[in-house]
C-alpha cells in the first residue's frame, strides 16, 4: 500500500477501522482514562466518523495506540537480590562448619533450602500482586 495513502486523513473508514477504534476506546475506558459518559460520546463520534481525520480528533487527547507505558517501574533496592544475597554468607558458614566438623551440616543446608524454595517464591508472588501481576525485574 502507498505510504501517502495510508497516512491521508481524507481516506474513508471501513467497518474494520471503526471496530478497531471502538476497541481502543474500550481499552482507554478500562484503564480509567475516560469515564462512561465520555466513552458513550466518543463511541457516537466514531460511529459518525467518515474518514481517518475524524478519528484523529476522537483520540487527540488520548495516549497513542501501541504505547508501551505500563505505569511505574518496579521499586529498586535490595529486594531483587533477596534470594541470592543471604545465600553467600550462608554458604561461607556452611563451608566453615563443614571443614571444622568434617561432615555435612544438615541444619545449614535445610535453612538454605527453606530460603530458596519457600521464602523466595513467596516474596516473588507478593511482588507480583503488588505490581499488577507483572513479572520481571526493573531495568
pLDDT tens digits along 51-72: 988 888 888 888 775 555 555 5
HSE-up of residue 117 (Cα within 13 Å, Cβ side): 6
What does the pLDDT read at residue 118? 73
The answer on 89 and 49 residing in a single domain is no
Nine cell digits for residue 11: 481516506
The answer on 85 and 53 residing in a single domain is no
Note the pLDDT tens digit of each residue in 4-43. 445 678 888 889 999 999 999 999 999 888 999 999 999 9
Asked if the model's pLDDT at residue 139 lies above 50, the reply is no
What does the pLDDT read at residue 63? 74
The answer on 54 and 84 residing in a single domain is no
Using the 8-state DSSP alphabet, how is residue 138 labeled?
-
- What distances in angstroms separate CA 138 from CA 32, 73, 135, one per listed residue? 24, 6, 10
71, part of any domain: no
The answer on 126 and 83 residing in a single domain is yes
Distance CA 124, CA 136 (A): 10
The answer on 83 and 40 residing in a single domain is no
Number of folded domains that form the chain: 2
What does the pLDDT read at residue 97? 72
The answer on 84 and 41 residing in a single domain is no
Residue 99's domain spans which residues? Answer: 79-130
The answer on 126 and 85 residing in a single domain is yes
137, part of any domain: no
What does the pLDDT read at residue 120? 64
97, part of any domain: yes
pTM of the model: 0.44
118, part of any domain: yes
Amino acid at each position: 500500500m502507498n505510504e501517502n495513502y495510508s497516512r491521508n486523513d481524507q481516506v474513508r473508514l471501513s467497518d474494520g477501522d471503526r471496530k478497531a477504534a471502538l476497541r481502543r476506546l474500550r481499552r482507554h475506558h478500562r484503564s480509567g482514562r475516560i469515564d462512561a459518559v465520555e466513552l458513550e460520546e466518543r463511541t457516537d463520534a466514531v460511529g459518525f466518523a467518515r474518514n481517518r481525520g475524524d478519528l484523529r480528533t476522537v483520540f487527540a487527547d488520548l495516549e497513542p495506540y501501541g504505547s508501551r507505558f505500563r505505569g511505574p517501574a518496579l521499586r529498586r533496592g535490595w529486594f531483587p537480590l533477596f534470594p541470592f544475597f543471604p545465600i553467600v554468607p550462608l554458604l561461607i558458614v556452611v563451608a566453615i562448619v563443614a571443614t571444622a566438623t568434617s561432615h555435612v551440616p544438615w541444619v545449614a543446608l535445610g535453612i538454605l533450602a527453606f530460603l530458596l524454595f519457600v521464602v523466595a517464591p513467596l516474596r516473588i508472588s507478593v511482588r507480583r500482586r503488588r505490581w499488577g501481576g507483572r513479572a520481571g525485574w526493573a531495568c
